[in-house]
């Protein structure tokens, strides 16, 4: 499991703390090339290695991204890549607005707004995937875009976590101590991002046959933070099972932390 950012302009690929499976003929680590370093302070239009062509999709990505986001994101990227008036930064701003809206909907506290918040969080994640894919497909990169993308990612996670905490604090039929489940998740997720967000290294050591089989379907062998966020901020709110899915998210993040600590200390 990794920091899980959908790499946009030189950000972390799925290879940082999970196994990134290089497809046949691809050199390990080539997808981690940071094109934004080509000219500090200036935009670049160099093509990004490790992608699958005009849709900007990574050759290996997280399960939620591949199975749930890409069916919507990839066709949208292909269309937007031909509309030069729409830039990755425009999509990032949309993702930022959707992420904050999801948090507000969670906090409003009704069953309807909770479910709507889950849907809006999903759309925010799709928009986040689109901005990264669009940047890679068009080769448009800049330090400003990278900073804006980081801001949108952090704001989406913070707004959703705070929104669920407010929901649990005010929810009828739930003890107020339930809010601690959300607080524990947010703290652990933040800790994991801090210890793993910049790490790039070898895989988890899972069996090669399993990895290669999944790689043929563009899937990483282990989940990442996008998958955890799908459990906590999409499935939980949509089903109304916020506390159980938060608990599942906590277990997943704890496993990721232990794996990361083991990798760093071995």
Instruction: State the pLDDT at residue 206.
Output: 52
Give the C-alpha separation, 264 to 49, whole Å: 27
Instruction: State the pLDDT at residue 258.
Output: 93
DSSP letters, 134-164, are: HHHHHT-B-HHHHHHHHHHHHHHHHHHHHHH
C-alpha distances (whole Å) from 172 to each of 104, 111, 178, 186 are 18, 11, 11, 22
Give the C-alpha separation, 4 to 196, whole Å: 10
Which H or E run contains 99? helix 88-108
Instruction: State the pLDDT at residue 94.
Output: 95
**pLDDT in single tens digits along all 266 residues of the chain:** 544 444 454 444 454 434 333 344 343 333 333 333 333 344 444 444 444 455 567 778 888 988 888 899 999 999 888 887 888 899 999 999 999 999 999 999 899 999 999 999 999 999 999 988 888 888 877 888 888 989 999 999 999 999 999 999 999 888 999 999 999 999 999 999 888 864 443 344 455 777 787 777 777 777 888 999 999 999 999 999 999 999 999 999 999 999 889 888 88
CATH match of 42-265 with 1.20.120.1760: yes
Within 13 A of 62's CA, how many CA atoms are on the CB side? 28
C-alpha distances (whole Å) from 169 to each of 118, 175, 176, 250 are 18, 8, 5, 18
Dihedral sign of CA atoms 227, 214, 134, 139 in order: positive
Residue 79 CB neighbour total at 10 angstroms: 10
Instruction: State the pLDDT at residue 47.
Output: 43
Task: Annotate 83-101 with b (16+ C-beta within 10 A) or e (fewer).
Answer: eeeebbbebbbbbbbbbbb
Instruction: State the pLDDT at residue 163.
Output: 97
């Amino acid at each position: 499991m990794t920091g899980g950012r959908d790499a946009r302009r030189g950000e972390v690929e799925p290879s940082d703390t999970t196994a990134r499976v290089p497809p046949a003929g691809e050199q390990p680590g080539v997808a981690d090339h940071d094109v934004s370093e080509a000219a500090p302070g200036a935009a670049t239009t160099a093509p990004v290695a490790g992608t699958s062509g005009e849709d900007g999709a990574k050759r290996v990505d997280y399960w939620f991204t591949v199975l749930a986001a890409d069916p919507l994101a990839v066709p949208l990227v292909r269309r937007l890549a031909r509309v030069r008036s729409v830039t990755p930064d425009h999509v990032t701003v949309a993702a930022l607005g959707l992420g904050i809206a999801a948090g507000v909907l969670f906090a409003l506290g009704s069953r309807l707004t909770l479910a709507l918040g889950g849907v809006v969080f999903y759309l925010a994640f799709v928009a986040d995937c689109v901005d990264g894919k669009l940047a890679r497909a068009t080769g448009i990169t800049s330090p400003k875009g990278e900073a804006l993308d980081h801001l949108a990612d952090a704001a989406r996670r913070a707004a959703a976590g705070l929104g669920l905490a407010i929901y649990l604090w005010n929810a009828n039929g739930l003890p107020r101590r339930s809010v601690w489940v959300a607080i524990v998740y947010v703290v652990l997720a933040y800790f994991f991002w801090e210890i793993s967000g910049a790490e790039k290294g070898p895989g988890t050591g899972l069996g090669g046959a399993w990895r290669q089989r999944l790689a043929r379907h563009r899937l990483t062998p282990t989940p990442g933070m996008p998958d955890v966020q799908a459990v906590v901020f999409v499935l939980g709110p949509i089903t109304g099972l916020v506390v159980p899915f938060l608990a599942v998210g906590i277990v997943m993040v704890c496993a990721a932390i232990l794996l990361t600590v083991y990798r760093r200390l071995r």
